[in-house]
Structure 1
Amino acid sequence: MSASRHWYPPSHPSYHALPKSHEDFDSIRSKSTAGTGTNFYDRSLTVRMYALVGVAFSTIISCCCITTGIVIIIIQGANGVTPLMRLTGAMQDSDLPFEILKLILNLLVTICTESTGFVHNISLRSALASDSRLRFNTNLRLLTAGHGWRNPNGTLFNGIMVILLVISYTSSSLVVYINYAYSSDGSHADYVAIAGLPLFLLGIALLLQVVIAIAGIRAVEIPTWSSSPFDLTAALVHHTQLTPVAFRCMRSVSDMNGDGGPATPSKTQPSAWRAHPSIRKVVIFLWVVVAACAGWGAFVMHIWDKVPSTRFSSPPLAMSTWSLSFNEKSNYIGYYMPDAGPQWWILVFINLAVVQGPLTLALHCSELIANVIRDERQWRHATTRKGLHTATNPLTAILTHPICIVLFVTKPFLHWMFGLSFVVSDGAADGVLGRFAIFMLTAQIWNLCIALFILACCFTFVALRRPRGPQPATYGHLQTLANVVDEWSPVMWWGHKGDGPQCCHAGTSDHPLPDVRMGFAYAGSDVKSSASVS
């Protein structure tokens, strides 16, 4: 029989009639709500400093891109490029300099968008809390909005942020080209060059993201800059935006919609897939992107076979010609744009954004899985020897959590791999781009598909994995954390705290606690229950 069946919590008016011997639970619970001053929770002003340094870095990079792009456009025109490095010797026949520069550029874009994204996420989290709509510490930043169209954290500006994020990665894919500098005798020197217009648009996209992020933090009061769900929960409890619910000390996030009351500890906890509704959508979307990439590869192979005019004399696809990047034996299809005028840049951007946009959104949505798993891992430290440290540095959280490291490295790498698959080029002559040619490389598309497949498998596995142990799973769910944490301290341990007439009590403390008792009912030391536990 369920532990909560036939159990009814006492009504609020009867609380004053409880015997004095049962007042310990109330005194413990009061420690989580009676704190005053900024020392009650960590406002993480150091994290704010790091975040603003990241925003300043993004501003500098965006201004450099805008200035350089304007100079190139003024000197060379809208289709102009400027040389960066001359290729000599074996480098003339290698794509390595181009690919290294593209990878570095994608890494810079990732750092800038992550920096502004962190600030935007903090302001969105505070906006949702002020609207009483914040449920989890981690949310889909660009797909969750506050109230009001003019709100920097509202639907309109979130939509703009999505477009700007796609433009950032799309522009970075169009910046690097080869430039042939011809001499009077007909010979030429080869240079790695950058195009002015895509660089200018990249700078504008990065700068507008900075502006929206700064507007967001100015539009709302931010109680804490910490990315820790514990600092956020403590802040919300302190500001009475979140109220702990008694008698739910052994209830996980998946039990939030059920009846309260006694519960026996479970050997395993629900997975993130079951506990967080958005996790399921993200995992499904990841697999949709994998399927779309496979369909793209099959489509290119079909067009190469059925439409000879798109082959550009490329050889058939074979395992012997398979490679990571383009070479003279690569299989591909391609087509030319009618002209090289500025108006055709728009069409090139649309072509690229339509294909690259789903990849950008999939990687953005994957942040939800990584951060939710990170939040749960932090909570489960409460049963370890060292205990749970509530305050965390966001850089440390990323660098010490494998899935966060994987995602941070994967973002620029997969965008770089996309750039190997979808190539816009035909080079520039004497600093001016010619007609745009768009090539889709078959082997490189399948390489991207394989990489996406591996990523989707990894994230599906962690989303379906069930944590072991009786500690209730929270996955950063704020109400659940408020319910299971009854004593706040910088370092906390979770475990058995006392026996009651009918049920035991589990909670947190500033010193190590004994393990909870399997098979015993837990609800809180105030509980008087007639429940039978099976």
Structure 2
Amino acid sequence: MDDGSNTRRLSLQGQILTLILDLIVTLCTESVGFVHGISLRSALASESRLHFNTNLRLLTAARGWHNPNGALLNGISAILLIVSYSLPSLIVCPDVREILQVSSEMILSLRVPLARGSCHRRVTSTHVGRRTPPPGDGCIVRDAGANILTWLLTIRLDRCIGPAKPPETQPSPWHAHPSIRKVIIFLWVIVAACVGWAALVMSDPANVVVLPQREVQLHIYALPYVGPEWWILLFVNIVMVQGPLTLGLHCSELITNVIRDERQWRCATGRKGLRVATNPLKSVLTDPICLILFISKPFLHWMFGLSFSTADDAVNERLGGVAVVMFTAQIWNLCIGLFVFACFFTFIALRRPCGPQPAAYGHLQTLANLVDEWSPVMWWGHKEDGILYCHAGTSDHPLPDVKMDCVYAGSGAGPSVPVS
């Protein structure tokens, strides 16, 4: 086998192994995040601060530094999440000489952030067990009902809709949830930063290196040798660069979960109705947007890992320094991937649901206002005709569609002047 085929084989093996490690990290961190999301809802509900069913997990903290969902542990979890996704790129790293390197130190280091998951899960489950909070299993209607039963929400039937004619479309998530706008802006900032990174690498006048059978455009960033712990300095540099990407993908969970909550609520106008008792894990695994995000996380982190490599400078078997080699083509590939990702999430955040059913986007007080009759399976639609206003609400049996030419208001709403 010639040298060209051998180097391509080593490169392909390294890329596949890195992608597998990124996928394993995603499975572990998403499992921990699922438990963390439930415990955070419970903590916020016990403090009467659960306004939306979905929140930015690591950026929304419960009160108290000792709280497992407090700012201190959330900050530690955010750092360990970035560390978890940074390590696969350093565990398997083919350098510019096409030598496949596997770092045993980085493999041992990967155990630390992943072990945080079992510890965090054990602490949060113990902490939640001491309370009597709402269920917090992720079903928006059940969470709203549980908050009503624990006196955290007040039903306002006069605010269920109107008084107005039913609109044909509803507000988009961008206009309904304030945090979604910040997430979308942050995603585009990451795209702009990645483009700037690629432009900076291309601005180097001597960044073309001839390797066996090909030319590579790259930029070399040298790190001094500071002793046996040189890899710590290298690792800190990689974490600082990869941190915004990891946090941006994490914040994108808010968009997927808010849209999933809204889709669940809009089942109330469907043929099968809205089932209150649902499996939260099944709702995640069967939602296409959640699956897209789940696939995007390891894929984009894998693309980031392909954009750089390492090379050592050893003289007489002594390490003189480490060079981080950045590949221009791979950085532009990452820019394209991030651009497509940001475009997709911007589109779904600006998309307005069709139909007269009011949008809630997981806002529990809105759901408490809209649901006037609780049952295991609920339908939403036209309920009553009135002199001035009609009434729309929920029932345990299918309801007719609302009348688009009529004015609707809550069941407690009345005329502002006497009816003659």
How far apart are residue 390 of structure 1 and its match?
Answer: 2.5
Alpha-carbon distance change, 416 to 427 in structure 1, aligned in 2, over 3 angstroms: farther
Match of 1:169 in 2: 85
Q: Deviations over 1:260-306 (max 9, x none)?
A: xx23211111110000000000000000000000000001111x22x
Contact map agreement 1:247 1:523 (CA 8 A) in 2: yes
Match of 1:230 in 2: 141
Alpha-carbon distance change, 300 to 192 in structure 1, aligned in 2, over 3 angstroms: closer
Match of 2:181 among 273, 280, 284: 280
How far apart are residue 147 of structure 1 and its match?
Answer: 0.4
Alpha-carbon distance change, 434 to 514 in structure 1, aligned in 2, over 3 angstroms: farther
Greater Cα shift, 447-456 or 395-404: 395-404
Contact map agreement 2:138 2:280 (CA 8 A) in 1: yes
Match of 2:42 among 122, 126, 132: 126
Pair 1:291 & 2:192 matched: yes
Contact map agreement 1:164 1:209 (CA 8 A) in 2: no
Match of 2:305 in 1: 419
Higher Cα Rg, which structure: 1
Contact map agreement 1:263 1:522 (CA 8 A) in 2: yes
Greater Cα shift, 451-460 or 520-529: 520-529
Match of 2:209 among 290, 294, 313: 313
d(CA) in 1 for partners of 2:319, 2:114? 25
d(CA) in 2 for partners of 1:418, 1:333? 15
d(CA) in 2 for partners of 1:465, 1:327? 48
DSSP-derived class of the 1:337 partner: strand
Match of 2:360 among 467, 474, 480: 474
How far apart are residue 89 of structure 1 and its match?
Answer: 10
Contact map agreement 1:500 1:526 (CA 8 A) in 2: no
Match of 1:346 in 2: 232
Pair 1:93 & 2:8 matched: yes
Pair 1:201 & 2:97 matched: no
Q: Deviations over 1:105-150 (max 9, x none)?
A: 0000001000011111111111111111111111000111010111
Residue identity matched to 2:12: L
Aligned pairs, number? 410
Alpha-carbon distance change, 399 to 208 in structure 1, aligned in 2, over 3 angstroms: closer
Match of 1:56 in 2: none
Contact map agreement 1:120 1:217 (CA 8 A) in 2: no
d(CA) in 2 for partners of 1:394, 1:268? 28
Contact map agreement 1:340 1:433 (CA 8 A) in 2: no
d(CA) in 2 for partners of 1:161, 1:227? 21
d(CA) in 2 for partners of 1:119, 1:398? 13
Contact map agreement 2:194 2:331 (CA 8 A) in 1: yes
How far apart are residue 312 of structure 1 and its match?
Answer: 6.6
d(CA) in 1 for partners of 2:69, 2:213? 46
Residue identity matched to 1:416: W
Residue identity matched to 2:107: L
d(CA) in 2 for partners of 1:138, 1:163? 21
d(CA) in 2 for partners of 1:393, 1:433? 55
Residue identity matched to 1:313: V
Pair 1:267 & 2:168 matched: yes
Match of 1:67 in 2: none
Residue identity matched to 1:339: Y
Residue identity matched to 1:238: L
Residue identity matched to 2:225: D
Alpha-carbon distance change, 289 to 314 in structure 1, aligned in 2, over 3 angstroms: farther
Greater Cα shift, 194-203 or 463-472: 194-203
d(CA) in 2 for partners of 1:427, 1:200? 24
Match of 2:58 in 1: 142
Greater Cα shift, 457-466 or 516-525: 516-525
Alpha-carbon distance change, 132 to 88 in structure 1, aligned in 2, over 3 angstroms: farther
Pair 1:465 & 2:351 matched: yes
DSSP-derived class of the 1:119 partner: helix
Match of 1:409 among 290, 295, 315: 295
How far apart are residue 400 of structure 1 and its match?
Answer: 2.5
Residue identity matched to 1:118: F
How far apart are residue 391 of structure 1 and its match?
Answer: 3.0
Match of 2:241 in 1: 355
DSSP-derived class of the 1:412 partner: helix
Q: Deviations over 1:504-528 (max 9, x none)?
A: 2111112110011123222233332
DSSP-derived class of the 1:335 partner: strand
Match of 1:452 in 2: 338
DSSP-derived class of the 1:329 partner: strand
Match of 2:413 in 1: 527
Matches within 5 A, 1:50-65: none
Contact map agreement 2:209 2:215 (CA 8 A) in 1: no
d(CA) in 2 for partners of 1:327, 1:423? 19
d(CA) in 2 for partners of 1:433, 1:339? 7
d(CA) in 1 for partners of 2:21, 2:313? 19
Greater Cα shift, 289-298 or 166-175: 166-175
How far apart are residue 502 of structure 1 and its match?
Answer: 2.7
Match of 2:150 in 1: 239
Q: TM-score, normalised by structure 1?
A: 0.72
Is there any run of 5+ residues in structure 2 with no aligned partner, and where? none
Matches within 5 A, 1:35-114: 90-94=5-9, 95-114=11-30
Q: Deviations over 1:331-367 (max 9, x none)?
A: 1111343338432112111210111000000000001
Match of 2:217 in 1: 331
How far apart are residue 192 of structure 1 and its match?
Answer: 5.5
Alpha-carbon distance change, 425 to 460 in structure 1, aligned in 2, over 3 angstroms: same
DSSP-derived class of the 1:331 partner: strand
Match of 2:389 in 1: 503
Alpha-carbon distance change, 178 to 265 in structure 1, aligned in 2, over 3 angstroms: closer
Residue identity matched to 1:406: I
Match of 2:401 in 1: 515
Contact map agreement 1:91 1:97 (CA 8 A) in 2: no
Alpha-carbon distance change, 450 to 93 in structure 1, aligned in 2, over 3 angstroms: closer
Is there any run of 5+ residues in structure 1 with no aligned partner, and where? 1-86, 180-189, 252-261, 316-325
d(CA) in 2 for partners of 1:268, 1:363? 29
The runs of at least 4 aligned residues of structure 1 exceeding 6 Å deviation read none
d(CA) in 1 for partners of 2:409, 2:396? 20
Match of 2:254 among 350, 362, 368: 368
Contact map agreement 1:495 1:515 (CA 8 A) in 2: yes
Contact map agreement 2:224 2:320 (CA 8 A) in 1: no
Residue identity matched to 2:413: V
Residue identity matched to 2:115: L
Contact map agreement 1:501 1:528 (CA 8 A) in 2: no
Contact map agreement 1:177 1:425 (CA 8 A) in 2: no
Alpha-carbon distance change, 527 to 336 in structure 1, aligned in 2, over 3 angstroms: closer
Contact map agreement 2:4 2:213 (CA 8 A) in 1: no
How far apart are residue 193 of structure 1 and its match?
Answer: 5.4
Match of 1:81 in 2: none
Q: Deviations over 1:405-453 (max 9, x none)?
A: 110000000000000012234599xxx9995331111011111011111
